[in-house]
Amino acid sequence: MRLSNLLIGLMLAGMGAITAHAQSGLDAQQLAQLNSPQLALQQLQGANLSDDELRLKWQLLAQMDDAEAILQAASTLPKNAPPDVARLCNQAAAHAALQQGNGVLSRSYLAALLADRTLDTTVYQQARAAVVRSYLLPPLGNEVASVMLRYQQDFGKDKALLQSYALAMLQAGRADELKWARSQLDDTDAVAELIDISAGQFTDDQSKLRLQAAILAAKDAARLTLLRKLVSAYNAPDLLAQIDERLLNLPEAQITADKIWEEYRSLTQTLGNVRLLLFGSDAGWADLAKESETTNPMMARAVWAYLARSAKDANLRQTAQQQLLTQLHAAKLDRTALRLFASAWPNLPASVFNADTRYQLGAVAWAENQPAVAVNLWRDLPAPPQAVAVADWQVQRARLFARQGLWPLVADAVYAWIPLADTAVESVRWQMLNVALQMPQDSSALLIKLLPVLNPAQQRVAMQRLGAISSNDKEAATWLLNAAENAHDEAAWQARLDAAARLKKAGLLLDAKQQYQAVLAGSDAAAQRALATDALADF
């Protein structure tokens, strides 16, 4: 029997087995082993899963950061699920409920978990800590202190948990209940300082200095919200603005950009009253912003923000925009910058900004997964800032345009990069080759132009693609044989197989036969030798 007929028969015979695999969950297991948990979970959506299928489902869910999916699956867990599956479910669902801020639901799963007498000590302690954390979610109940104390009696001091407890109590306005917790924290501890500030242990100036340091270190909404509450007790609008900048910088913004623009203007007005400057005295404001950049960066940002929107001179407006963006970047507030600019200049029209601002904003937009915004800013940008090498700039543009499927712009960027490729490192050459390989239309001219600046391994990849996309069989075979030249790995033998097929189509039967014979004699891959043997039967 010819091999091709045998393969067809095997495929038809195997269709029943494939169906059985899908029903038994074996396909899901294979997908999981191939690092495709989402595809695997789609195979495990039925209501009548076996114990092994349920076990695999919860092993996969526990690896994923999808609280909604976990809680949905937990709500439908069969009552007769195996104990180890129920344990996985309770652990994952308790954590998911905590993520969603639902302490009551989290405790219901934790109670079921803690009822399992076979828990090892580590899992048991983690579950008890989760119980404490569930009580730290607002609104705090009267039992939170006793829950925390009971945990400490059983397991000793857990500094991180103790800090979380203290922060939650401070946020709830219950600082007077923290004496015992404060006694267990060092004087240099950041949370201990916040407790002391709340208790009035420092002068106003000392408190502000400590709050300033805490603001710079804060990373999450809960800590920043607490700091805002503490700062509000002082006359410190600059500290409030810094907190709000960081609240806007969070992935889920906790404040509006318009609020911060208002704060910038208010700070500028206060500074102007001290310096006897009126709105409209643009040159004086610009000098003041420059003077303040090192001594008071927050005030400098506020002044540049005012000038960025209100300066009468267009050049000064663009300079102020650039300075504001640069300073926000230095403060690690890129997301804040993008949101502020998008609020002040809707849709971020490229014509409003100078080249440096367009480049920086585009880079931030791309990093924030807003490629369409980045394209708008970079599409016709004539050159990058001086600090960015032109070759790197063209790579960035090519990859961005490829992301958006703007293939003519991709080609332009690649062509512009080729004369500069001598300075490119190996990884950048692979990036540009990968971009060229993604092009859906005939990219032969571009790949041929790229060949001289690629290394031998990259050239092989490019030539294989040239052979695959060429409509001329002789030309295709030539590219494929070029790719196989002086190589004896599996990819080279595959290129020879492909070349043989194109040679046969071109009517060059002797060349085709010899290529099949070479594969049969040289390849270590059984499948390639089988295909060559099958093809030679036609000669």
| Contact indicator for 327, 293 with CB cutoff of 8 Å | yes
Distance CA 439, CA 530 (A): 33
The 10s digit of each residue's pLDDT in 229-267 is: 999 999 999 999 999 999 999 999 989 999 999 999 999
**pLDDT surpasses 80 at 333:** yes
Of 76-85, 108-117, 385-394, the poorest mean pLDDT is in 385-394
| Residue 417 vs residues 356, 404, 446, 510: alpha-carbon distances, Å | 20, 19, 12, 42
Residue 65's pLDDT is 87
* pLDDT tens column, 31-45: 888 888 988 999 998
At 23, the pLDDT band (50, 70, 90 cuts) reads very low
Long-range contacts of 99-107 (CB under 8 A, 24+ apart): 99/67, 100/67, 100/68, 100/71, 101/137, 102/137, 103/134, 103/135, 103/136, 103/137, 104/134, 105/71, 106/130, 106/134, 107/131, 107/134
Least confident of 46-50, 165-169, 501-505: 46-50
Report whether pLDDT(379) > 50: yes
| H helix count then E strand count, the chain | 31, 0
222 exposure class (CB count in 10 Å sphere: 0-12, 13-18, 19+): middle
Q: Looking at the predicted structure, is the pLDDT value of residue 301 above 90? A: yes
| pLDDT exceeds cutoff 90 at 281 | no
* pLDDT > 80? residue 386: no
What average pLDDT does the segment 410-422 reach?
93
What is the chain's Cα-based Rg? 32
Q: What whole-number distance in Å separates Cα of residue 527 and Cα of residue 533? A: 10
Spell out the residues 6+ positions from residue 315 whose beta carbon is closer than 8 angstroms to its own. Answer: none
pLDDT (average), residues 448-462:
95
Eight-state DSSP code of residue 117: T
Q: Are 86 and 115 in contact (CB under 8 A)?
A: no
User: Distance between the two ends of the chain, CA-based, in angstroms?
Assistant: 16
DSSP single-letter state for residue 249:
H
31-38 long-range contacts (CB < 8 A, ≥24 apart) are 32/56, 32/59, 32/60, 37/63, 37/64, 38/64
Q: pTM for the complete prediction?
A: 0.82
pLDDT for res 423: 84
Distance CA(138)–CA(416), nearest Å, equals 57
Q: Is the pLDDT assigned to residue 20 strictly greater than 60?
A: no
- According to the model, what pLDDT value does residue 9 have? 36
pLDDT-based confidence at 499, cuts 50/70/90? very high
Residue whose entry in the numeric block shows the structure tokens 């607002």 = 138
Where in 446-492 does DSSP place strands (E)? none
Number of residues assigned to the chain: 539
Residue 219 pLDDT greater than 70, yes or no: yes
DSSP letters along 272-336, please? Answer: HHHHT--TT-HHHHHHHHHHHHHH-HHHHHHHHHHHHHH-SSHHHHHHHHHHHHHHHHHTT-HHH
Of the ranges 384-388, 439-443, 487-491, 494-498, which one carries the lowest mean pLDDT score? Answer: 384-388
Please give the pLDDT value at position 27.
77
Residue 19: the pLDDT is 32
* Section 148-167 average pLDDT: 96
Q: What is the mean pLDDT of residues 524-537?
A: 95
Averaged pLDDT, 526-530: 96
Percent of the chain with pLDDT over 70: 95
| DSSP conformation class of 254 | S
Whole-number pLDDT of residue 273 = 80
Distances 511 to 484, 496, 518, 521, 528 between C-alpha atoms, Å: 15, 11, 11, 15, 18
Burial of residue 349 (CB within 10 Å: 0-12, 13-18, 19+) is exposed
Distance CA 500, CA 493 (A): 10
Q: Quickly count: other Cβ atoms within 10 Å of residue 524's Cβ.
A: 10
pLDDT in tens, 91-145: 999 999 999 999 999 999 999 999 999 999 999 999 999 999 999 999 999 999 9
The DSSP secondary-structure symbol of 174 reads -
pLDDT at 402 over 70: yes
83 DSSP assignment? H
Q: What pLDDT is attached to residue 168?
A: 96
Spatial distance between the Cα atoms of 119 and 110, rounded to a whole number of angstroms: 12
User: Which of 259-263, 353-357, 387-391, 451-455 shows the lowest per-residue confidence on average (mean pLDDT)?
Assistant: 387-391
**pLDDT in the model for residue 280:** 72
What is the model's pLDDT at position 92?
A: 97
pLDDT class for 7, splitting at 50, 70, 90?
Answer: very low
Task: Judge whether residue 14 has pLDDT over 80.
Answer: no
At residue 197 the predicted structure's pLDDT band, cuts being 50, 70 and 90, is very high
Residue 2: predicted pLDDT = 38
Mean pLDDT of the chain: 91
Between CA 453 and CA 450 the distance in angstroms is 6
The pLDDT confidence band at residue 12, using thresholds 50, 70 and 90, is: very low
